[in-house]
């Protein structure tokens, strides 16, 4: 196995290890919850502000810290793809400086380089802005799921039991406790 294959295999293995498997994921939660109705409650596992700031610094990181690793990797991959397009455009513009080759059309190379450079930069900005907005939505919606299911995960109820009964024309009042457990 070549070194590159080993690195890719290791990366995929680590990706599988860090991906959390929750009962619910954002793809399902976003159908049931509207992020506009979110209100912060103590004990929320994800911070929308921290997710937005992390996605501003590294696109996709906010989704990753909100439990959506694969979604975050998509944003990060899109950003890296746009960065590589912009880098290629910059290299083409730099390459056009060397005009000494025969049959070399430097103006076409400059034009192509400029187009690629600015398209890559616009793509990077777009992916970054969309990543910030999405990270905030993911954190809010996933928090709403946990808010709804925090109390319904289990229930333990202890009730006093007092019931007067008549035995052989004598009234007695047995006292007790009933325990009710539900999952």
**Residue 24: predicted pLDDT:** 59
Which DSSP state fits 105?
Answer: -
Q: Give the DSSP H/E element, type plus range, for residue 5.
A: helix 3-18
pLDDT, position 14: 58
Give 31-88 pLDDT, tens digit per residue.
777 777 787 888 888 889 999 999 999 999 999 998 888 889 999 999 999 999 999 9
SS3 118: helix
CA distances (Å), 173 to each of 76, 115, 124, 152, in order? 69, 89, 76, 34
What is the C-alpha to C-alpha distance for residues 84 and 149, in angstroms, rounded to an integer? 43
- Using a cut of 0.85, tell me whether the model's pTM lies above it: no
| Higher pLDDT pick, 21 / 70 | 70
């Amino acid at each position: 196995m070549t070194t590159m294959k080993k690195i890719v295999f290791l990366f995929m293995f680590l990706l599988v290890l860090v991906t959390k498997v929750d009962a619910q994921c954002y793809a399902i939660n976003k159908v049931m919850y509207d992020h506009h109705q979110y209100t912060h409650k103590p004990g929320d596992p994800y911070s929308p502000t921290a997710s937005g700031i992390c996605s501003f610094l590294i696109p996709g990181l906010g989704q990753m810290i909100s439990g959506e690793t694969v979604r975050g990797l998509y944003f990060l991959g899109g950003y890296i793809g746009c960065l590589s397009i912009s880098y290629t455009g910059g290299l083409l513009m730099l390459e056009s400086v060397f005009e000494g080759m025969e049959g070399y059309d430097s103006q076409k190379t400059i034009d192509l380089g400029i187009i690629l450079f600015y398209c890559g930069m616009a793509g990077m900005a777009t992916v970054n802005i969309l990543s910030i907005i999405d990270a905030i939505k993911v954190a809010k919606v996933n928090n709403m799921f946990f808010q709804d299911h925090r109390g319904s995960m289990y229930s333990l109820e202890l009730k006093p039991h007092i019931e007067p009964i008549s035995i052989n024309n004598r009234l007695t009042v047995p006292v007790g406790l009933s325990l009710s457990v539900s999952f």
